Amino acid sequence: KAGVTQTPRYLIKTRGQQVTLSCSPISGHRSVSWYQQTPGQGLQFLFEYFSETQRNKGNFPGRFSGRQFSNSRSEMNVSTLELGDSALYLCASSPGRTGNTIYFGEGSWLTVV
Amino acid sequence: DAKTTQPTSMDCAEGRAANLPCNHSTISGNEYVYWYRQIHSQGPQYIIHGLKNNETNEMASLIITEDRKSSTLILPHATLRDTAVYYCIVRGRGGADGLTFGKGTHLIIQP
C-alpha cells in the first residue's frame, strides 16, 4: 500500500509570492492534516480536513489555507510568502475515525528567498 | 492535549536495548500515548501507541505505568539506523485532533 505522497519535494520561492503544496493520502484514508516544521518552532499543527471540511485548525495566520477534494487529496496554500515561512511542510493522513493512527509523508521543503 | 516531558538526548550502545522515558502526569483517562520518530530531514515515522496496557510490535515495546503518568519506549536491539529524534505524544480520542509535538529525545546509537 502506497504511503502518503507529497509534491513537490523541494521548491524555492521569492518573498511575496504564493505557493501550493499537494498531498495524496494513503488509499482509504479520509483525514488529511498538515504540519509545519522549522528549527525554531519545531513541528506545529496547521489544519485538518475530513470529507472536504476543515475540522480543526492550528494557530497560524490566514495566509495559510488548505482544501480537500472529494478523492481525499489535499492542497495547502501559503500566500504572500515571508522569509519565516521557509520550512518543511508535512502532510499526514489517517482513516479519520476516533483514535486512528496518523501517518506522515516525507514532506515538502520550502525555501523563501 | 496533555503535555509530555522527555529527556533532551540519550546515548545507547549498538545492540543494547534503548529505553526512552516519557512523563505525562496530566494525561486524562481517554487519551492515548503515541510514539513517533524522525530521522533527519524525513517525515515522522509512527512507532507504537497504547492506552493503558503494554503494547509490542515489530519495532518496539511500550510500557505504560499503572497510573498512566509515565511510559517507556523500548527498542530491544538498537542499531545505528535507530538514531533519530523520538517524540512521545498524548492524543485525545477525537479524529480531528492534531498532534502536539514537543522537542522529543535525540537518541544517538553509538557503534
Give the per-residue pLDDT at B92: 78
Please report which confidence band the pLDDT of residue B93 belongs to, taking 50, 70 and 90 as the band edges.
low
Distance from CA of B85 to the nearest CA of A (A): 12
Q: Do A50 and B95 touch (CB under 8 A)?
A: yes
Q: Does B50 touch chain A (CB under 8 A)?
A: no
3 state SS of A86:
coil
Task: Say whether pLDDT at A42 is over 80.
Answer: yes
In which residue are the cell numbers 513537490 written?
A: A8
| Cis-peptide into A8, omega within 30 deg | yes
Share of chain A above pLDDT 90, in %: 88
For A94, counting Cβ atoms within 10 Å of its Cβ (0-12 exposed, 13-18 middle, 19+ buried), the class is buried
Which of A52-56, B74-78, B101-105 holds the top average pLDDT?
A: B74-78
CA distance B73 to A90: 24
Q: Which of residues 8-47 of B touch A (CB under 8 A)?
A: 32, 34, 36, 41-46
Higher-pLDDT residue of B107, A98: B107
Please report which confidence band the pLDDT of residue B95 belongs to, taking 50, 70 and 90 as the band edges.
low
Give the per-residue pLDDT at B25: 94
Identify the residue among A88, A102, A109, A111 best suited for mutation to test binding to B, counting B beta carbons within 10 A and taking the highest: A102
Distance from CA of B75 to the nearest CA of A (A): 20
Q: What is the DSSP letter of A29?
A: -
Please report which confidence band the pLDDT of residue A77 belongs to, taking 50, 70 and 90 as the band edges.
very high
Distance from CA of B92 to the nearest CA of A (A): 7
Instruction: Tell me the pLDDT tens digit for each residue of B15-50.
Output: 999 999 999 999 988 889 999 999 988 999 999 999
How many CA atoms lie within 13 Å of A8's alpha carbon, on the beta-carbon side? 9
Task: For residue B95, list chain A residues with Cβ-Cβ distance below 8 A.
Answer: 31, 50, 55, 94, 96-100
For A86, counting Cβ atoms within 10 Å of its Cβ (0-12 exposed, 13-18 middle, 19+ buried), the class is middle
Share of chain B above pLDDT 90, in %: 80
For residues B84, B89, B94, B97, the Cα torsion angle rounded to the nearest 10 degrees is: -60
Using only C-alpha atoms, chain A has a radius of gyration, in whole angstroms, of 13
CA distance A96 to A78: 25
Mean pLDDT confidence for A41-53: 93
Nearest to B98 among A50, A58, A96 (CB): A58
Task: For residue B45, list chain A residues with Cβ-Cβ distance below 8 A.
Answer: 104
Give the per-residue pLDDT at A100: 80
Higher-pLDDT residue of B100, A81: A81
For residues B78, B50, B41, A34, the Cα torsion angle rounded to the nearest 10 degrees is: 170
Give the per-residue pLDDT at B1: 52
Distance from CA of B50 to the nearest CA of A (A): 10
